[in-house]
Amino acid sequence: MKEKTLGLVYLCYGVYREKEKKTKTNQVPYQRFIGLARRYPVYLYSQTPVPLDEIRMLVKRIGICPLRNLYLDRIIFPFWCVWRVLQLRRQVSIGCVYTAQGQLPHLAGWMLQKFGFPWVVDIWDDLTKDINEMRFGKCHFSFVKYIYFTTVNAICCLILQQADALVCALEPSILKRYKINPKRVLAITNGVDETGLYTVRITKRGEIQTIAYIGDCAILRGVRTLLGAVTLVSKSVPSVKLVLAGPNHDWLVKEVNRLGLNEIVEIKGLVTHSEALAVIASSSVAVCPLRPIGDYPYTYPLKIFEYMSLGKAIVASDLPGISRVIKSEETGLLVPPESIEDWAKAILRLLNDEKLRRRLEETARRESTKFYWQEVQKPIWQLLEKKWLNKEEMYSG
């Protein structure tokens, strides 16, 4: 006999990647899943292992794709999902299928739609991300993988047009490449986990003015531009300090040595989420120097929401996604992404003009409440409850 409770099937690559374990609380996969699981009966089917100790109390059922160690999961995952969900339908009433993070969950959702399930797609990374990472040297290039991802991506571009609804946590203009009906799109931003902000430890640095960068210290992320700007800034403000907190690379130490910034740049490497927040809180200026490469122009970097919540004066790249969150001269300063001179001028303005810095800090902190995860994700819950997860039906039994 079927349960009367109306549930949601969540298909994904994983609740968070293992390498993000230290910072999971403000990662999109974790927050999206937790936001849904705390509100609805969720049946989770994942391509990768899930930290059961954290989430088993929140979900009705968990399924992990078999054969993942043999890479066969890249072939069988969609079909395995269909088989498991069709079995589940005999036991429970399913309101909709919700797919996230990757082409294969979306392919599974499309297949299940053919069996009569409403299908909701959630996109917070461009589907070409894997291809771009190989193209730009961020990961090892493999011709077989390139062909695989290109083929799967082409299929996804076609099937996404058929989704019943699409939640897009990217700047909406990116969807033009997928030819999706705008009426089916719910555009949102990323957000911030405000609960982690209350225990931040601030380290006082005396008269030293500190610039904070949080994230992958890669050339693609604009860190080389940032180092060039800090070189210019240090000529006017010799006591300035740049703190880099995030995965570093071999080129970084060499570049710091080449520019003679050993006494100015502090490389912390990968840190916990609380340590990253402490670096931000102790800074005078926080920066996000993303370059206009791949899907970066359309993303909403998580760091900018944390910068705002901690009331920091921000300098960020003037890109379509970032500019929807940060308003230049109101909640931060936006500058051309790859102009070292403009970056140096913007940072110097904030370091030298305390009145401007304080005004931006106060406005950023006030505006950040709009981006708490609970506020950001409310439109998703409203969409689901309006169309497929009627609250009265969910709890009528």
Q: Is residue 396 part of a domain?
A: no
- Does residue 184 share a domain with residue 250? no
Please check whether residue 9 lies inside any domain of the structure: yes
How large is the average pLDDT for residues 305-330?
97
- Same domain? For 241 and 381 the reply is no
What is the pTM (predicted TM-score) of this model? 0.89
AA identity, residue 274: S
- Do 78 and 157 lie in one domain? The reply is yes
Residues 113 and 149 both lie in one domain = yes
User: Residue 138: pLDDT above 60?
Assistant: no
Q: What average pLDDT does range 137-146 have in this prediction?
A: 63
Q: Which helix (H) or strand (E) holds 213?
A: strand 210-214
Give yes or no: residues 25 and 38 share one domain: yes
Quick one: 356 and 386 in the same domain? Answer: no
Pick the residue with more confidence: 145 or 248? Answer: 248
| Percent of the residues in the chain that have a pLDDT greater than 90, as a whole number | 61
Q: Which of 54-63, 123-132, 357-366 has the lowest mean pLDDT?
A: 123-132
Structural domains counted in the chain: 2
Q: In terms of residues, how long is the chain?
A: 397
Q: Summarize the confidence of residues 93-110 as an average pLDDT.
A: 91
Q: Which residues contact 3 (CB under 8 A, 6 or more apart)?
A: 91, 92, 93, 397
- Whether 91 and 145 share a structural domain: yes
Residue at 363 is within a domain: yes
Q: Quick check: is 112 in a domain?
A: yes
Let me know if residue 110 belongs to a domain. yes
Helix (H, G, I), strand (E, B) or coil at 298: helix
Give mean pLDDT, residues 184-193: 94
> Higher pLDDT residue, 260 or 180?
260
- CA 39, CA 385: separation in Å to the nearest integer? 11
Q: Are both 379 and 325 inside the same structural domain?
A: no
Domain that holds residue 333: 194-370
Q: Is the pLDDT of residue 376 over 60?
A: yes
pLDDT > 60? residue 2: no
Given a cut of 70, is residue 21 above it in pLDDT? no
Judged by average pLDDT, the poorest of 72-81, 208-217, 375-384 is: 72-81
Task: Compute the CA torsion angle 190, 226, 126, 271 (nearest 10 deg).
Answer: -60
Please determine, for residue 158, whether its predicted confidence score (pLDDT) is greater than 80.
yes
Task: State the pLDDT confidence band at 203, using cuts at 50, 70 and 90.
Answer: low
Q: Where is average pLDDT lowest: 6-15, 222-231, 258-267?
A: 6-15
Q: Is the pLDDT reported for residue 229 higher than 70?
A: yes
**Percent of the chain topping pLDDT 70:** 84
Is 288's pLDDT higher than 80?
A: yes
pLDDT of residue 140: 58
Is the same domain home to 366 and 376? no
pLDDT exceeds cutoff 60 at 143: yes
Question: 160 and 41, same structural domain?
Answer: yes
Joined together, the tokens standing for residue 42 give 């969720």
Rounded to whole angstroms, how far apart are CA atoms 2 and 4? 6
The pLDDT tens digits for 53-89 are: 777 788 899 998 887 766 677 789 999 999 999 999 9
- Asked if 38 and 185 sit in the same domain, the reply is yes
Output the pLDDT for position 24: 56
pLDDT over threshold 90, residue 15: no
pLDDT of 182 reads 85
Residue 175 and residue 230 in one domain: no
224 found inside a domain: yes
Looking at residue 128, its pLDDT comes to: 63
Q: What is the mean pLDDT of residues 89-109?
A: 91
User: Does residue 120 come out as left (phi exceeding 0), alpha (psi in the -120 to 50 range) or beta?
Assistant: beta
Kindly report the CATH number assigned to the domain that includes residue 221: 3.40.50.2000
Question: For the CA atoms of the chain, what is the radius of gyration?
Answer: 22
Query: Hey, what's the torsion of the CAs at 257, 261, 262, 265, to 10 degrees?
Result: -120
Is residue 384 included in any domain, yes or no?
yes
Q: What is the mean pLDDT of residues 23-41?
A: 83
Question: For the chain, how are helix, strand and coil distributed in percent, rounded to 5?
Answer: 50, 20, 35
397, part of any domain? no
